[in-house]
Amino acid sequence: MKQSFTVRHGALDGVETFLCVARHRSFRRAAAELGVTPSAVSQTIRALEARVGATLLIRTTRSVGLTEAGEKFLARARPAFDELVAAGEVARELGQRPSGTLRLSVPPAVVPILLQPWVASFREAYPEIEVEISASEKLVDLAAEGFDAGIRLGQFVPSDMVAIRLTPQLRLIIVGSPAYLARSGQPEGMDDLRDHACLRLRRSDGSLAPWSLNNDGRGVEVAVSGPLIASDFPTLLGAALQGMGLAQLPEPVAAEAVAAGRLKHVLEAFAPTVPGVFLYHPGRRQVMPKLRCFIDHVKRQSRRP
């Protein structure tokens, strides 16, 4: 048989009033501090005593004192109430000004390309905010795992998230080292990939990602094979630099190595375009000041060349 549970109401009702009376040893002075009438204070104390099941205050026409039960209640209630007040002040401060810890879930490839320069300038602008970066390809549940926001390629952002574009659309390019291409030849078409060592990506759901190509404006997926499977782009980049095979990577990930001549483009005409990089979070109503400041900051930074 299913049990019925109810939420206990009123556990803290009257505690603040009791503490105020105990401090002043006066119903009248407590009422003046709380901005209510003495009769309202008296009614609140009676209701608290009825709920507790013990008399807490001794009242005479001349004075107010504490019973033994009242002394013990005061000894435990006062520090607990002070902690509750302090907890409210801490929460209020985080809700009203940019401070605290900003936790971000980010793929490893994004950290050196985009996030590091943003975080450095953000920390200079907002020194009271501590930034924590969890670098993982795993697509985490932001709310369940305590993250303020995530950064991902647009195609991996969950549909129920609010997404903010950080980069323009970008290409997925295929690259290989000069040593590998000298040894294995340069592919001229999609079918040539069957004869090449292709480095592959394992998605966070465990599946192997096919290579996405653009064939005369039509997107196609090609199953490839090769000597290495990795769960992140930096590992694939490193393997390509070592001459292990061809890798398909977001263009910014390989840009430095290509510019230095350590990697070369192949099949450029077949490079598809993907949505780009986005910051995402659970919703507009849940944006704390620390996250709002970070969003505004990266928007400004992303507009710069």
What pLDDT score does 91 carry? 65
pTM: 0.65
> What phi, psi does 102 have (nearest 5°)?
-100, 115
| Fold of the CATH domain 15-96 | Arc Repressor Mutant, subunit A (1.10.10)
* pLDDT tens figures, 244-253: 999 999 998 9
What pLDDT score does 16 carry? 87
Range 170-274: architecture per CATH: 3-Layer(aba) Sandwich (3.40)
What pLDDT score does 2 carry? 43
Tell whether the model's pLDDT for residue 258 goes beyond 60.
Answer: yes
Tell whether the model's pLDDT for residue 10 goes beyond 60.
Answer: no
pLDDT above 90 as % of the chain: 40
* pLDDT tens figures, 57-79: 888 777 888 889 888 988 988 88
Range of weakest confidence among 32-36, 90-94, 169-173: 90-94
Tell whether the model's pLDDT for residue 137 goes beyond 50.
Answer: yes
* Interval 96-111 mean pLDDT: 84
- Band (305; pLDDT cuts 50, 70, 90): low
Tell whether the model's pLDDT for residue 93 goes beyond 80.
Answer: no
What pLDDT score does 3 carry? 45
User: Are the folds of 15-96 and 170-274 the same?
Assistant: no
Range of weakest confidence among 70-74, 83-87, 284-288: 284-288
Range 100-168+279-302: architecture per CATH: 3-Layer(aba) Sandwich (3.40)
The more confident residue out of 71 and 9 is 71
Q: Where are the domains of the chain?
A: 15-96, 100-168+279-302, 170-274
